[in-house]
Amino acid sequence: MLRFDKLSKRYGGHVIFQGLHFATGPGCVALCDDNGSGKSTLLGLLAGTIDADEGDIWLDGHSLRREPLKAKAALAFVPDDCMAYPMQTGRELFELAASARQTAVDARTLDLAHRFGLEPHLEKRFEQMSLGTRKKFFLTAATIGDPAVVVVDEASDGLDAAARAVLVDLFKTLAKDRVVFFSSHDVKLVQACEAQITNFAELAAGASNAR
């Protein structure tokens, strides 16, 4: 459901990473590496917000390079800062995600929003929210329309203990039939999610995690 091959990225003369290989089916995968190693860059490539210099990415069987619209339709992305549109409200984010995935905001989405305690914030603009609240909105929106691949940058940043418990349950539920690929420096979170751990050394060595 998620695969990338010969993936490389550089800025000017600085090589961020090169020759990364990976493949996985449904499950939870945590990218754990040092700060500044390129985790956010790699996740940006997977989400199609950054272009790779070499290689290709497949999302639910669709090449991001050759079939970008089909590939991105299979993806939900939660960026680190969760601040795409500062003037957008939480409710508008849900409606935008539902429209993009040609579906509706259903009871399951609203239940997750309730579990995250988001009802008082639905009409707030993102510029008025804390990082944790923004992240909970994006995590909830990521479940709309059943995307095959969910990519999350620094999954637990800004979340309190109660929200972390909801996050763990969410990731384990999603991982039953889709890919959850997230970066984290939170060892306890990774363990609680029963996530398979990878890092840049393994990806560069061409470690295949196909299931």
Number of domains in the chain: 1
Give yes or no for residue 207 having a pLDDT over 70: no
Q: Is residue 86 part of a domain?
A: yes
What span, in angstroms and rounded, lies between the C-alpha atoms of 113 and 129? 15
Cα-based angle 165, 31, 116 (whole degrees, multiple of 5)? 25
Assigned domain for 58 exists: yes
- Does any domain span residue 211? no
95 in any annotated domain? yes
Q: Is residue 209 assigned to a domain? A: no
Is the CB of residue 118 less than 8 Å from the CB of residue 136? yes
**Is residue 175 situated within a structural domain?**
yes
Confidence (pLDDT) at 210: 39
pLDDT 10s digits, 113-170: 999 999 999 999 999 999 999 999 999 999 999 899 999 999 999 999 999 999 999 9
Query: Is residue 210 in some structural domain?
Result: no
Domain that holds residue 113: 2-204
Domain membership of residue 54 (yes or no) is yes
pLDDT tens-digit map of 66-101: 999 999 999 999 999 999 899 999 999 999 999 999
Q: Does residue 142 sit in helix, strand or coil?
A: coil
Find the helix or strand (DSSP H, E) in which 35 lies: none
Q: What CATH number corresponds to the domain at position 137?
A: 3.40.50.300
Our separate counts of H helices and E strands in the chain read 8, 9
What does 146-162 look like in DSSP terms, one character per residue?
A: --SEEEESSTTTT--HH
Please tell me whether residue 58 adopts helix, strand or coil conformation: strand
